[in-house]
């Protein structure tokens, strides 16, 4: 993860709308007053949790063109790692996020929506062998619970890195459906290029994506959803098929032994095709 990202836009707004007076059982904050989920629900440490959220808020603005007035969709919102910094950024816009984890959605509703009623969270009963094995809906059948043309900006961080090609294709089609004309997106992948494939072969990459499965590659064939990677041509084809345009270049991450990577994963930015 890069150690320094220009966070001036975010910091200028931070703390503006810190709401007070909530019941004690809804409060979950660090010593500095920042809203923080319990360790039992968070997949990353406290420091990394906020660092990642702040860093990606910078990416959303600088790479994706996010503005405070945008209606935002967060696909695979988890425990609010992106929603929490967006609380101090969204001004005149709105936020909606969904995730397969019911406990995480409940925490977000209790701790984020109570502070920002314009932040909505929805539980997605989607089956996932790793993250929601008891889900009742196939990921290739799930319809986002939002009307056509509802959002100006959509994001997905560490979501498509845990899904099969068919599932990603379906989600991208749904993404195109709910974006407004001119709508933009920023999503992350593990993208296989000639350079990253060499890093994998030389065991210099963070993950050994050597097992073909579900239209991509994984390092764990017993549990492919642990991490999935796709050839760059496949990623571009999925976007085109869904009616989305890629804004070149792909911003390659550090996972493939790329020390100059903008983030840990590869960042793909684009818009609804016209």
Strand 191-192 versus strand 228-231 pairing type = parallel
Q: What pLDDT, on the 0 to 100 scale, is given for residue 11?
A: 32
Strands of the 211-213 sheet, one edge to the other: 191-192, 228-231, 216-218, 211-213
Q: What is the mean pLDDT of residues 107-131?
A: 93
pLDDT in tens, 91-112: 999 999 999 999 999 999 999 9
Average pLDDT, the chain: 87
What 3-state class would DSSP assign to 68? coil
Q: Per the structure block, which two tokens stand in for 87?
A: 């609380």
Q: Which of 75-89, 119-133, 168-182, 243-257 shows the lowest mean pLDDT across its residues? A: 119-133
Q: What pLDDT, on the 0 to 100 scale, is given for residue 43?
A: 57
How many other CB atoms are found less than 10 A from the CB of residue 96? 23
Distance CA 247, CA 186 (A): 10
CA 237, 225, 122 angle in degrees (round to 5)?
Answer: 85
Q: What pLDDT, on the 0 to 100 scale, is given for residue 36?
A: 85
- Percent of the chain past pLDDT 90, that is, above it, reads 73
Is the domain covering 47-272 a CATH 3.40.50.150 domain? Answer: yes
Q: What is the mean pLDDT of residues 32-56?
A: 75
Q: Which of 5-9, 46-50, 186-190, 263-267 shows the lowest mean pLDDT across its residues? A: 5-9
Q: Which of 49-58, 146-155, 180-189, 239-248 shows the lowest mean pLDDT across its residues? A: 49-58
| pTM for the whole structure | 0.86
Question: Is it the case that residue 30 has pLDDT exceeding 80?
Answer: no
Q: What pLDDT, on the 0 to 100 scale, is given for residue 61?
A: 97
> For the chain, what is the largest distance between any 2 Cα atoms, rounded to a whole number of angstroms?
55
| H-state helical runs in the chain | 8-13, 46-62, 83-87, 102-108, 165-178, 194-201, 232-242
Q: What pLDDT, on the 0 to 100 scale, is given for residue 32?
A: 59
Determine whether 175 is exposed, middle or buried from the number of CB atoms within 10 Å of its CB (0-12, 13-18, 19+): buried
Q: Which residue has the tokens 């089956």?
A: 127
């Amino acid at each position: 993860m890069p150690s320094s990202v220009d966070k001036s836009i975010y910091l200028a707004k931070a703390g503006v709308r810190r709401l007070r007076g909530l019941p004690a059982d809804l409060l979950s904050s660090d010593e500095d007053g920042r809203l923080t989920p319990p360790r039992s629900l968070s997949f990353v440490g406290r420091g990394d949790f906020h660092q990642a959220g702040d860093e990606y808020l910078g990416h959303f603005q600088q790479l994706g063109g996010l503005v405070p007035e945008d209606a935002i969709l967060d696909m695979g919102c988890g425990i609010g790692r992106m929603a929490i910094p967006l609380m101090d950024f969204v001004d005149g816009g709105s936020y909606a996020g969904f995730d397969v984890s019911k406990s995480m959605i409940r925490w977000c509703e209790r701790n984020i929506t109570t502070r920002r009623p314009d932040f909505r969270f929805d539980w997605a009963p989607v089956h996932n062998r790793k993250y929601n094995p008891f889900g009742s809906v196939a990921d290739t059948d799930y319809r986002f619970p939002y009307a056509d043309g509802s959002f100006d900006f959509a994001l997905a961080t560490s979501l498509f890195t845990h899904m099969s090609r068919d599932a990603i294709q379906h989600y991208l089609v749904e993404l195109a459906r709910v974006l407004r004309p001119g709508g933009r997106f920023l999503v992350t992948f593990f993208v296989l290029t000639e350079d990253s494939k060499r890093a994998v072969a030389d065991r210099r990459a963070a993950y050994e994506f050597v097992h073909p499965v579900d239209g991509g590659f994984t390092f764990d064939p017993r549990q492919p959803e642990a991490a999935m990677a796709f050839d760059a041509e496949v990623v571009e084809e999925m976007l085109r098929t869904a009616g989305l345009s890629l804004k070149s270049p792909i911003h390659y991450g550090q996972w493939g032994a790329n020390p100059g990577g903008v983030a840990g994963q590869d960042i793909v930015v684009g818009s609804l095709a016209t």
